[in-house]
Chains A and B, each alone.
Chain A
Amino acid sequence: MKRKRRFLIVIANLTAVLTVVLILSPLLLLFLNAFRQTSEILKKPLGLPRSFYLGNFSHIFARTSFTDNLKNSLLTTIITVFLCLCATTPAGYVLSRFSFIGRRVIIIWLLASQAFPGVLMAVGFINVLKSLGLYNTLPGLVVLYMSFTIPFCSWLLKGYFDQIPISIEEAAMIDGCTRARAMYKIVIPLAIPGLIAVGTFAFMLAWNEFFFALVLLQDSKRYTLPLFLARFLGTGGAVEWGYLCAASTLCVLPPIFIFLAFQKYLISGLTKGAIK
């Protein structure tokens, strides 16, 4: 019995290790190929880098619009995250604390908007953005990104605010604190883990987004990184895997770092707030 149990433990651990390796292998392959020349990658698809070759990186920085596109991605993402936090904090608060008329309708809209097809939103947006002069601009892209980050993040934060006992702010308000001050001084500091969760979520959504960028941005200087990668892949002829893997590596590292740093908050925010 005891031996059988020991055997099962070994099997479980081995399976776990194998699962992790299997799931991570595509990313590992990507990182390794970033340091190999295209000809080498094509000759030996599974080989290891022979030396610490940085030619791919210097090429994409020197010869392509990568630097501009990286800046665009950073700028769009940071502004989206910032605006999303500014908008969803009061939104989550009001949804959590008040039972106003129309609350149900707003919540249903927020949840239902997850299902809005991108094509429909793009068609609805494009004429407006054109008439505002925001077509083919990064501010226009930020507006599009707000359309899908704000609804879900408001819902997520509402769930987080629900966890904070209402009695804390009521006590402060009895002591003569206004509601706005109570929210600012008491509720928001307590909700910081939730705000981090929302920020991480919005960061990943905005950084990884492709469809709206594809639809809105027309010239290569204004591309974001996913769009740069897709265009680079699809320019016809032989694919320059070395360059592409180097650029992809740089594109995947920021969200992975953010994710590893804040995943604790993200997961608890999602499980407490949005899913339960």
Chain B
Amino acid sequence: MNSFRETKKAFPYLLPLIIIIAVVSVYPFVRGVLSSLYGSSIFGNAERFVGISNFKALFNDDLFWLSLRNNLIWVVCCVSLEFVFGLLIASLLNLQCVKMRNLFRALVLLPWATPPVVAGLVWRYILATNGPLNIILKTTGLMSNPPSWLITPGYSLTACVVVNIWLGLPFMSIMLLAGLQAIPSDVYEAARMDGANAFQKFCHITMPMMKSVIAVVVTLMCIWTFNTFDVVYVLTNGGPGNSSLILSLYGYQNVFAYYQRGYGASIGVISLLILLIPVSMYIRALLKEVEAE
């Protein structure tokens, strides 16, 4: 195989992609990363090179550490709960005995199509002090004095997590369902003949055969969840008292509210460095298949 000849043949098809990626992805990315090395000067708009002092400042910034902590809690809670509930929903919709499975599947997916801002709005209403949720909790006697979920420091981040799970659950469920459906039924049949119970089948067939799907979906979800902005912005805007501040929000505030562009960009760079772990896992999982071709 002559890969140089191949490249020449591919070139006319490749050129538009390279130009577009260079203009809308590589260039702004590089500019963004570089601007983390600049700080605003006291003289007007001009920015001056400050090296890594933005990162040094971040290291001593309590709000940065708080938002980093919140961000990690946010990702771990969202993705792990989405995974557990997603697997339950996928298993339920994979049962032959459930009537109207296709209709249910379509309906369960609807939150996926919902704009996150709309989801935030609706849930802000549901979770309000005198909102529907608290009324239900009171009338059913589950909680005599339910808190104001969004404006109480201990609950605000949890409330955001719940809403984000509502939004992310459909994608997780449907991908896991596709994984379940790809397992040939005769494997289960054979296990049944050998007298395996449901739990054994789950541990020794379902999980191992879903390994690659789970790896891709979970890492992808971690990446998407890590950078979430809209849900938290609409629900709490990081409040009350920064109790639900996450990195994307803190970066946004620095760049567009405090006009600390370099400082905000350095928060983005840190996010990216943390994301290198799931991203490399994600790419490796997907490239395995590319290379297998």
Contact = CB atoms under 8 A, between A and B. Distances in A.
Contacts of A120: 29, 32-33, 251, 265, 268-269, 271-272
13 contacts: A19-B92, A46-B132, A46-B135, A91-B17, A99-B6, A101-B7, A102-B7, A115-B272, A128-B28, A146-B24, A150-B24, A226-B230, A233-B124
B115 A251 contact: yes
Interface of B: 1, 3-4, 6-7, 9-11, 13-14, 16-18, 20-21, 24-33, 35, 89, 92-93, 95, 97-99, 101, 104, 106-119, 121-126, 128, 130-132, 135-136, 166, 169, 174-175, 178, 212-213, 216-217, 220, 223-224, 226-227, 229-230, 233-234, 247-248, 251-252, 255-256, 261, 264-265, 267-269, 271-272, 275-276, 278-279, 282-283, 286-287, 289-290, 293
A259 B224 contact: no
Interface string A139-152: 00001101100110
Contact of A259 (B3, B109, B116, B118): B109
Nearest to A154: B17
A108 B264 CA distance: 26
A62 interface: no
Given A98-B6, A112-B283, A119-B268, A26 B126 contact: yes
Given A9-B97, A107-B290, A267-B178, A117 B29 contact: no
B230 A210 contact: yes
A230 B16 contact: no
B34 to A, nearest CB: 8
Contacts of A107: 287, 290
A210 B229 contact: yes
Interface stretch (A10-18, A49-57, A188-196): A10-18
Interface string A95-138: 10111111010111111111111111111110110000000000
A119 B114 contact: no
Contacts of B114: 27, 208, 252, 255-256
Contacts of B118: 30, 226, 229, 248, 251-252
A275 interface: yes
Interface in A196-222: 204, 207-208, 210-211, 214-215
Nearest to B171: A270
A19 to B, nearest CB: 6
A39 interface: no
Contacts, number: 289
B122 A275 contact: no
Interface of A: 8-9, 12-13, 15-17, 19-20, 23-24, 26-27, 29-30, 33, 42, 45-46, 87, 90-91, 93-95, 97-102, 104, 106-125, 127-128, 143-144, 146-147, 150-151, 154, 162, 179, 204, 207-208, 210-211, 214-215, 225-227, 229-230, 233, 241, 244-245, 248, 251-252, 255-256, 258-260, 263, 267, 270-271, 275-276
Contact of A119 (B117, B264, B282): B264
A101 B3 contact: yes
B138 to A, nearest CB: 11
A15 B95 CA distance: 12
Contacts of B21: 106, 109-110, 150-151
Contact of B29 (A12, A116, A230): A116
A80 to B, nearest CB: 12
Contacts of B30: 124
B265 A15 contact: no
A265 B112 CA distance: 15
Contacts of A150: 20-21, 24-25
A258 B112 CA distance: 12
A179 B11 CA distance: 13
